[in-house]
Structure 1
Amino acid sequence: MQALNHQFIDNCWVNSHGTRHLPVMDPYHERQLTEVTAGDARDVEAAVEAARRALPEWQALGGERRGTYLNALADALTARREALMELSATNNGKALAEAGIDLDDAIACYRYYARQAGDLEARQGRRITHDIEGVDAYCYEDPAGVVGLITPWNFPLVTSAWKIAPALAAGCTVVFKPSEITPLPEQALAEIALELEMPPGVLNLLHGDGEGIGKPLTHHSDIDKLSFTGSNAVGERVMQAAAEGSRGVSLELGGKSPILVLADADIDQAADWVMAGIYFNSGQICSATSRLIVHETLAESLFEALATRIDAIRLGDPLGANTDMGPMTSQHQHERVHAYLAIAEREGLHAVRDARHRQLPPHGYFIAPTLYRDVPTDSRLWREEVFGPILCAHKATSDDDAIALANDSAFGLAATVISGAPQRARRVGRALRAGNIWYNSEQIIIPETSWGGFGHSGIGRELGPWGLADYLEVKHLIGPAD
């Protein structure tokens, strides 16, 4: 596979100014696929200048025309669907079926914001109703400007769609840094921009790591807004950088999400939803419901049902038709999750299913699905984001006890409630401190609803009209009535 030694700036592939080379790995075969030439501050400078030049024309194009480009981008992703699924599975390590779900979510996001772009144009200059006689007021929504977007490695194309689509719909121009760990699927976005003959400078893509690209991008004085998805530690540094010049920032950070199984839940349905909430993408998902809070009367039956399902999970080649779970995306993540297994051993946690006791494929960064029961609430595995296929369970005595256990966390990204009575599930869900709460379902992602959380889970919202608003500045014209 050809090395990625070019940056996409101003609708051109240009040689990277950087001299460092970063390996791009296949986490199943544990082999290098290619390498990325890590960019530096000079690449960032060129991309920001291109985006700044492109901004007036892109804004003036109007929402409907920008929406046409977004729909065309969705069409192009659809045409490449099978190839991108395979590329994502190979570079990321996720099962092929999961890669297909990711891609479909990304396509739906571009189509949603294509519609939002048209709606934005239709409401520009709307007259504001008020009670002061002889005064007119009109509302306009302008793009935030040149935006810097930084995305993680666990969901290539999806997390980028959640940022790029609303930013372009709003009329912003973009400097985008995908993860250096999974850059291969994101390459398609630059190729599509060329194919669609998008105006030069509207979408710029820079390869590199946090030191070479991330740091100069977040500190660049001509970036009007920053949007970052990733770890809390890096998110705090992004926020500090955004403070320079009081620039806008949105952060989608960590999670330690609960899944509540109430006393009237159906055991088999509950077990299926618990499995989907923690083991999808090998647990490498910020909304993973890694804290299982189960009513004490159901606990033993649920643990038994989960153990049976965990034993049935097939680990293997992400491209294999029968694979349920692939490897961790990187050696670093594999080592990090292993460190938590060691912590669990030191803490004396009781494993219903233990990753260390399962036979693994002969190669690949695999962690087997794990379930610990009766985990103390002061355990590090109960309180910290592991980002792997490790589920911790704790019993509750009542709905109120379950709510208190769920809300006892610094994070507040997501939650799931399972009950035989939907009204009961919604009542409990309403009491939870989280941005996204599912009830009696898997983690359904709908472009029309928001994504983001409370507390340490971040600032701002993606998706829905809230995601578009994050890339807009509101202005009002007020004066004598005509």
Structure 2
Amino acid sequence: MLIDGKIRPGESVFDSIDPATEEVAATVADGTAADMDAAIAAARRAFDEGTWAADLDLRVRCLRQLRDALRRNAAELRERTVAEVGCPVLLTRGPQFDTPVADLGWFADLAEAYAWRTDLGEAAPMGMRSRRWVLKEPAGVVGAITPWNFPHQINLAKLGPALAAGNTVVLKPAPDTPWCGAAVGRIIAEETEIPPGVVNIVTSSSHELGARLAADPRVDLVSFTGSTATGRAVMASAAATIKRVFLELGGKSAFVVLDDADLAAACATAAFAVCAHAGQGCAITTRLLVPRARYAEAVEATAETMRAIGVGDPRDRGTICGPLISARQRDRVEGYLRLAREEGGGFACGGRRPPDRDRGFWIEPTLITGLPNEARVAQEEIFGPVLVAIPHDGDDDAVRLANASPYGLSGAVHSEDPERAWAVARRLRTGTVSVNGGQWYGGDAPFGGYKQSGVGREMGVAGFEEYLETKTVAEPA
């Protein structure tokens, strides 16, 4: 662990398991409540007594140092990330490593150019001539709680803007992927000038430490990414001290194909999206809404692509769909596949473990058919390579079905007519939308959801400002 600038062993350790082989990928310190207490104390002390919050030049320099150090260590980090997360190595060239590392530089640039002080000019409220300014200041101590599916992306998407804004941070990585967080901590301690206590990383096999972090009165802001159910618990814990909460939660996003779209191309895109990283992404589109008159054609085209993708060793450069993170997650996905059968659905492809793999946590890419939008498998987040095909009766019906969800994180629309696609996209109650295959992900693009998909935004200027307070100052003119 990294606590108060020092690499600290745990009183005990726990194993992180390679989901493709079931072998031990790493042995990591198992933090305790005492470790978390020390980390929060160090972060509080560094914010209240240190110079980090006031020294913009140091913050910018340190973020660029961290970016460059991560790049120098990329070969080891890439290999170990594939082993711990089970993500295809192809994705480490994008959102699993390279892109979030580069985004640290974007946040450094933003902090350097940001308007930290805005002059509102003179006014005479209540007859008192005054000069007023608006100041932007760091929120304080940030508690960051992250999930296992894209550990580097989400860890760095919290560390980057929080540090750029002048906060200190206590990061609690997910129990399934602790090594990814611990590795960043080692690099911070050994290869950057980030002062002691500014970043603290506590690995643990227990979710309880995350709950302690959210409830602690010394923490000013909690940034959490994970399930909606856990997000509710985080919000409830934070309520006792009225601390600010940023939540990026679940999704059940719709991929809308309109009746004038290139059906084969659109369905292939939908199939690829749900197979990437075995569907373990909150913003992945997992409901395929297609014109009723072409439902059978769409199902066949989608199933054909999903069968062709299959599953593969995540170390293979050609793999798209690797294993699920754990036996527990595989069991959860299999429970939803049984439920699909019980609700009257069928499988156009998949629906089982691959018969040729007796080690690892695998599920074949699966296309569920024959169920309405109200079915549980069409409403609840499965977090596996599972797509539900649902017919619609035109644009209005497609919008109705897409929005008939407790979530509102992502979405996609395909049409040969860009104006028509945009018209549908504007009506989707989601935080991000892809039109005709456009890619919204990037450090400069705000990400977050409507409804039960979260509160606030991550990344972009909006995500940076989540970590700031606003102060208005006036003096006599």
- TM tier, smaller: over 0.9
Q: Distance in 1 between matches of 2:207 and 2:285?
A: 32
- Which residue is equivalent to 1:127? 119
How far 1:210 moved relative to its partner? 4.1
Residue 221 of structure 1, aligned match among 211, 217, 220 = 217
- Could you tell me how far apart the structure 1 residues matched to 2:109 and 2:6 are? 28
Q: Secondary structure at the match of 1:315?
A: coil
User: Counterpart in 1 of 2:465?
Assistant: 469
Give the CA deviation at 1:297: 3.3
Counterpart residue number, 1:4? none
1:84 aligns with 2:80: no
Q: CA–CA distance in 2 between the matches of 1:357 and 1:159?
A: 29
> Shift of residue 397 of structure 1?
1.0
Cα deviation 1:141-179 (Å, max 9, x = unaligned): 110001100000000110111111010010000000111
Q: What whole-Å deviation, never above 9, does each CA across 1:406-462 have from its counterpart, x for those lacking one?
A: 000000011111111111111100001000111111654122111110111111111
Aligned equivalents of 2:354, 2:263: Cα separation in 1? 25
- Which residue of the other structure, out of 86, 107, 113, is the alignment partner of 2:107? 113
Secondary structure of residue in 1 paired with 2:443: coil
Matched-pair contact (CA < 8 Å) for 1:144–1:472: yes
Rounded to whole Å, the distance in 2 between the matches of 1:403 and 1:161 is 34
Residue 162 (structure 1) aligned with residue 157 (structure 2): yes
What amino acid is aligned across from residue 160 of structure 1 in structure 2? Answer: N
2:171 is aligned to: 176
- Per-residue deviation at 1:22? 3.0
Say if 2:131 is the partner of 1:136. yes
Counterpart in the other structure of 2:323: 327
Letter in 1 for 2:146: T
Over 3 Å counting, the alpha-carbon distance change for 1:322 and 1:314 in structure 2 is farther
Shift of 1:358: 5.0
Letter matched to residue 11 of structure 1: G
Identity rate, percent = 37
Residue 73 (structure 1) aligned with residue 97 (structure 2): no
Q: Cα deviation per residue 1:104-140 (whole Å; 9 max; x = unaligned)?
A: 22123211111111123xx233211465483211111
- Structure 1 residues 94 and 229, CA gap change in structure 2 (3 angstroms): same
Secondary structure, in 3 states, of the residue corresponding to 1:270?
Answer: helix
Matches of 1:51 and 1:395, distance apart in 2: 52
How many residues are treated as equivalent by the alignment? Answer: 470
1:49 maps to what in 2?
41
Pairwise CA RMSD: 1.7
- Distance in 1 separating the partners of 2:456 and 2:328: 29
Deviation at 1:65, TM superposition (A): 2.9
Report the equivalent of 2:293.
297
- Name stretches of at least 5 consecutive residues in structure 1 with no aligned partner: 1-6
CA distance in 1, matches of 2:214, 2:375: 35
Q: Is the 8 A contact 1:154 1:284 kept in 2?
A: yes
Contact 2:275 2:306 in 1 (8 A): no
* 8 Å CA contact 2:25, 2:80 repeated in 1: no
Give the C-alpha shift of residue 267 in structure 1: 2.0
C-alpha change, 1:472 and 1:440, in structure 2 (3 Å) is same
User: Is residue 22 from structure 1 mapped to residue 36 from structure 2 by the alignment?
Assistant: no
**Whole-angstrom distance in 2 between the partners of 1:34 and 1:13:** 16
Q: Which residue of 1 aligns with 2:52?
A: 58
Amino acid at match of 1:316: G
Q: In the alignment, what sits opposite 2:91?
A: 98
Deviations 1:66-123 (A, max 9, x none): 1221122111222222322211111111111012212122123211111111123xx2
In the other structure, the counterpart of 1:32 is: 24
With structure 2 as the length reference, what TM-score do the two structures score?
Answer: 0.95
Which residue does the alignment assign to 1:416? Answer: 412
Instruction: Give, in angstroms, the shift of residue 215 of structure 1.
Output: 2.2
Match of 1:153 among 135, 139, 148: 148
Supply the distance in 2 between the matched residues of 1:359 and 1:198 (Cα, whole angstroms). 49
Q: Is the 8 A contact 2:367 2:388 kept in 1?
A: yes
TM-score when normalising by structure 1? 0.94
